[in-house]
Amino acid sequence: MTEVTYRNVADDEYPELQGLLAQLGYDLAVSTIAENVQEIRARGGEVFVAERNGRLVGCVAAIIDVRLAGGICGEIVSLVVAESARGQGIGSGLVRHAEQWLSSTVGTVRVRTNAVREAAHKFYEAGGYEYQKTHKVFKKNLA
């Protein structure tokens, strides 16, 4: 099997990110992805990709979150591996890459996953993450 490279996403790769994020159920325009990557970076985070044979086979974002009660914490968000590349350690490699990058800034990393994604729960537990609590998420548009 060909080696996988983990690195920061390049601006011309947003169309490939679009396809990956669609596999998570997110139908986003390339322009929206570009804006989101810029905002992640402006707020101290980064987006990483896994590349094999010149194609993106996964992505993850590492962000910094600060809470009044909880303090500063890194967070891994939007992890996805292409369906054709799952089960090959690429997700674990992306998480390790994000953790290493975050370790220069934070001492704790958090991850959130949809309650129905049981395979994701097992994946993170196998990677050393401990279940903490369940939340309900509420949203209000301010526009």
Radius of gyration of the chain (CA): 15
Asked whether residue 55 is assigned to any structural domain, the reply reads: yes
Q: What pLDDT, in 10s, does the model give residues 63-122?
A: 999 999 989 999 999 999 999 999 999 999 999 999 999 999 999 999 988 778 888 888
> What whole-number distance in Å separates Cα of residue 95 and Cα of residue 87?
14
Asked whether residue 60 is assigned to any structural domain, the reply reads: yes
Asked whether residue 134 is assigned to any structural domain, the reply reads: no
Torsion sign over Cα 21, 23, 27, 30? positive
First CA to last CA across the chain, in angstroms?
49
Q: What pLDDT, in 10s, does the model give residues 2-60?
A: 899 999 999 999 999 999 999 988 999 999 999 999 999 999 999 999 999 999 999 99
Asked whether residue 89 is assigned to any structural domain, the reply reads: yes
Q: Are 4 and 49 a contacting pair, CB within 8 Å?
A: no
CATH code, domain carrying 21: 3.40.630.30
Domain that holds residue 43: 5-126
